[in-house]
Structure 1
Amino acid sequence: MQPLAYISASSMLGIAAGPVASTHRRPAVPAPTSPGTNYASLILAQLRHHPAQPCLVWPAPDGSTSRHTGHDLLQRIAAHRQQLLTAGVQPGHPVLLAVPVSVELIAGLLAVQALGAVPVLPPAGASGWQLLHLTRRLSIGVVLTATAPRQLLRLVAGLLGVQLIAAEAGPLGAAIDGWEACPVPAQQPALVSHSSGSTGRPKAIRRSHAVLQAQHAAIKAAFPPWQGQRDFPLFPNVLLHNLAAGVVSVLPAVPWHDLRQLSPARLVAQLQDERVQTLTGNVAYFAALLAHLQRQPVALPDVVAVGVGGSPVPEPLAQQLRQAFGQAAVHVIYGSSEAEPIAVRQVTDDVPNPLAGYCVGTIQSGLEWRFELLGVLQGRATPGQPVGELWVRGAHVAATPGEWLRTGDYGYVADGQLYLTGRQGNEQLHHGVQHYQLEHLLYHLPGVERAAARADAAGFTVFVQGTVPPASVARLLAEQFPGVPVLAIHFRTMLPVDARHHSKILYSQLR
């Protein structure tokens, strides 16, 4: 489908958008790729060059911690590589990683990549039947499992033509030298993961070796790493970037199957004991961490940078992070698995107007962008502002070369900053206003934990989670969005959120 009109940089300055497509492009970040390449080669080179340096610090449920050097991880990669070779895995073969977040998952993933095969990560919380469907849909013949499968399961899988291989840490006798990552076409998938499913079923995201290298280069350009940097990444995919950059990943002690059960006290203890310097996470994660730090303040002088993303970031939370991590630069990071990062904003005393939506910063180098026109905003902060769905393309975007990635996010660019005002499936305008504008305003009310505004045919139905008085919600919306139809305001104990980030509202499930 082609858009009827586009909003470009010129139309953001008040020049009307015409029927001919126009784009904006920022200079590209070089990403070294070649016809025969393999993202794993970057990581293997780093591990071999610094074999004694810690690369992974992994907490166990029992409170202990395992520390892994480059040499340790190389041994595990080599062991899994030998397992996969014995199973007949060849370049281009998809391999499902049915392994929880662990050192063995990372080693298994890199072993699959090193063979030139394609690691496939299942959707968050996938059931056994969903995994079976995934193997059939993607023609997967080998599955790496967490533990040795039972005989019956192995028999059933065998009847379906699927081999099950246990990724348990066994003898580490395989040679770590004498082999290299298999060169593969730059456009071959290097990793297949799945979206959070916040606007429907989780979809498969295929990132090629060229895209992974370009994303690695884009992240390095936005946040220059240093050798031995101690990072605290909530997002497992950041581990691949860290390993390629020589950054030590200190994994947060969280229950990866359900982040809602995390212990903020243990996380704070990790930050102190491991002298963490940088950390990233999503809104729900940082909200829990901030609540603990407000009850039991501690100094965290080693932290120099904090990044928050994964969903729209309320400005009050971003400002609270600045207070809690007084020595750190705090950044809002906007992107997706297909394109990370898209935009970055450093949080300062210059607080954006919440009526304008969520300000996520400057669109990153190497991206072309355009907007598919939806309409015109008419709120107090955005009178006459064209708004549309953001499309991007570039080297670090997982899309067919030359084609646009439709982000599903609606917004506009003003004064060089990207603002988000709505999400696909809930994007309808009412009196020139989109739902993010209402929601972001409500997050500035004390006692609001979560807010959602569902765009119905006649107006907005607002849902609130928290202790704020109902009259305060109604009064603020009436004052700041006069004339905008608010059909009802409902208070709920919990609002439905996605299974991966526990931060993205599932609007279709609001009741």
Structure 2
Amino acid sequence: MRYTAAEVLGQVSHARRYLRAQGVRPGQRVLVAVPVGPALVAALLALLALGAIAVLPPAGAGWLTRLRLPGLAGATAAVVASRPRLARRWLARRLGVRLLTVPGAELARPGHAAPLPTWEPAPVPSDQSALISHSSGSTTGRTKPIFRTHAVLAAQHAALQRAFPPWPGQRDFPLFPNILLHNLALPGGVCSVLPAVPWRYVPAFDPARVAAQLVSERIETLTGNVTYFRRLLPALRPLPASALGHVRAVGIGGSPVPEALAQALRTVFSGADLVIIYGSSEAEPIATRRLTAAPTDPRRGYCVGMPAAGVELDLLATGRQIVLPDGRSQAVGEVRVRGAHVAQPAGASPEAWLATGDFGYLEAATGALWLTARRGNTAVVGGCQHYLLEHVAQQVPGVGRVGARPTESGFRVWVEGTDPAVLPAVLAALTTAFPALRGHLQLQLQARLPVDGRHHAKIRYDQLG
């Protein structure tokens, strides 16, 4: 189905009138339990226009989890797309949450737009929360609320616009819902084409169908995560170069991106600008790296490129040092950021530094940021931290996800898969890259490595083994 801008605005106006009639008021927290699509856009923008605070659950969260989210504290209403089953309605009543079913017919069919709205958005303080999302919990397994004020949302929109300037008539293919909302706020008529994926569990999508969309819809820009592009790549490789010649830019992020995957995408999208996007739940983007023909050296870590304009970046000293391939010692610290588009915890000063949980260093010659470890897994053994090993191992043909944790004298390395024949090649690559670890590596094959529930790409190091 296709929707014009007028139809989208009409749907937002319709949802706003309904929610206002149901008693939703400025400053009220409202859970949004609506699948990705037109109804989600209408519900979110209607709540923002009312001055209410939209609360988004983490991807894949069950009904009980949604109603008990930390960011939902004090909420008395939830927007749903259809009337839930009796058990869910009973549970919501027990927890004091009123369910509001946004009328679906008007929100599901194009050509049924209400007249263009004449109302003005409700005035609210710029430091009031507009949107509360939740982290993936990839480090601890516990999700945390991310508070985005109206000022932060506007600044994040401006930061994305600076990093990726749009053009009139641009046809975008966004996997991330925040990019869809960003597109709707852009001038010049950017068209968003939603990928044909099961939004409840994106990794189950049909690669051939999505590849066909890219061709038939003449997509010019697309974004996605590592799991998405890994699954899509085999369906793209047989296509002639001309089939994807209209693609001008590809962004990949959400988790560390293996260099081999990045270079493979650069080959498939030969006429496009390939960009690695580094950010966090609180700040997007923090840094970007535009790929070139020369791959980066994974022995140095994971290169995420130059810090984004408008964000201050600092490394909190840890006293740890890794050894670079040329034998020099390199101090590593925790990446901290602050700036207008950084969402701070509730009650924190806008000037406070936000710790990302990522560790790394800034390359002296270029100013590029390299990541070397994740919080909870930062020990240095043999001059290495775990990202160095993982990115070297993922260069081995046939190797997908890799996770590493330090032992007393080396590292234990988990390789995802079922073919033990890859282990000798991985061991050879690691001992060649890091001679100090020779004899101190333990390799283990595991059918599936534990990952986060949002991007399905971030290793859950707390669950390895």
TM-score, normalised with respect to structure 1? 0.84
Instruction: Indicate conservation of the 8 Å contact 1:96/1:121, yes or no.
Output: yes
Instruction: Give 5+ residue unaligned stretches, structure 1.
Output: 1-65
Match of 2:144 in 1: 203
Q: 2:400 aligns with which of 449, 457, 466?
A: 449
Instruction: Indicate conservation of the 8 Å contact 1:96/1:135, yes or no.
Output: no
Q: CA deviation at 1:186?
A: 1.0
Q: CA deviation at 1:152?
A: 5.9
Q: 2:343 aligns with which of 377, 398, 419?
A: 398
Q: CA deviation at 1:459?
A: 2.8
- Kindly report which structure 2 residues correspond to 1:25-424, keeping only aligned pairs within 5 A, or say none: 66-134=1-69, 138-150=73-85, 153-154=88-89, 156-171=91-106, 176-200=116-140, 201-245=142-186, 246-295=189-238, 299-374=243-318, 375-381=320-326, 383-399=328-344, 400=348, 401-414=350-363, 415-424=366-375
Instruction: Indicate conservation of the 8 Å contact 2:81/2:104, yes or no.
Output: no
**1 CA distance for matches of 2:151 and 2:71?**
27
Instruction: Indicate conservation of the 8 Å contact 2:6/2:113, yes or no.
Output: no
Secondary structure of the equivalent of 2:68? Answer: helix
| Paired letter, 1:235 | F
Q: Please give the per-residue CA displacement for 1:238-264, whole angstroms capped at 9, x wherever unaligned.
A: 111101114211010011111221111
| Paired letter, 2:424 | A
Secondary structure of the equivalent of 2:44? Answer: helix
| Paired letter, 2:436 | G
Instruction: Indicate conservation of the 8 Å contact 2:67/2:95, yes or no.
Output: no
Higher relative contact order, structure no. (Cα contacts within 8 Å, ≥ 6 residues apart): 1
**1 CA distance for matches of 2:71 and 2:133?**
16
Structure 2 residue 375 is the aligned partner of structure 1 residue 432: no
Q: CA deviation at 1:487?
A: 3.9
- 107-116 or 448-457, which moves further after superposition? 448-457
Q: Please give the per-residue CA displacement for 1:37-96, whole angstroms capped at 9, x wherever unaligned.
A: xxxxxxxxxxxxxxxxxxxxxxxxxxxxx1011111112111111121112111110110
Q: CA deviation at 1:326?
A: 1.2
**2 CA distance for matches of 1:406 and 1:266?**
40
| Paired letter, 2:202 | L
| Paired letter, 2:446 | R
Aligned CA distance change for structure 1 residues 137 and 229 (closer, same or farther; 3 Å): closer
| Paired letter, 2:404 | A
**2 CA distance for matches of 1:81 and 1:165?**
12
Q: CA deviation at 1:500?
A: 0.9
**1 CA distance for matches of 2:256 and 2:45?**
31
CA-atom RMSD, angstroms? 1.8
Instruction: Give 5+ residue unaligned stretches, structure 2.
Output: 107-111
Q: Please give the per-residue CA displacement for 1:323-353, whole angstroms capped at 9, x wherever unaligned.
A: 1011101011101121110101110012211
Q: Please give the per-residue CA displacement for 1:207-241, whole angstroms capped at 9, x wherever unaligned.
A: 11111111111111111001221000111111111
Q: CA deviation at 1:135?
A: 7.8
Q: CA deviation at 1:268?
A: 0.9
**1 CA distance for matches of 2:374 and 2:327?**
18
Q: CA deviation at 1:112?
A: 0.4
- 252-261 or 135-144, which moves further after superposition? 135-144
Aligned CA distance change for structure 1 residues 457 and 366 (closer, same or farther; 3 Å): same
**Residue-pair matches, total:** 446
**1 CA distance for matches of 2:71 and 2:213?**
41
Secondary structure of the equivalent of 2:286? Answer: strand
Q: CA deviation at 1:407?
A: 0.5
Instruction: Indicate conservation of the 8 Å contact 1:353/1:381, yes or no.
Output: no
Identity %: 50
Secondary structure of the equivalent of 1:420? Answer: strand
Aligned CA distance change for structure 1 residues 292 and 152 (closer, same or farther; 3 Å): closer
**1 CA distance for matches of 2:232 and 2:263?**
14
Q: CA deviation at 1:380?
A: 2.1
**1 CA distance for matches of 2:375 and 2:88?**
40
Instruction: Indicate conservation of the 8 Å contact 1:123/1:196, yes or no.
Output: yes
Q: CA deviation at 1:163?
A: 1.5
| Paired letter, 2:69 | L
Match of 2:442 in 1: 488
Instruction: Indicate conservation of the 8 Å contact 1:82/1:174, yes or no.
Output: no
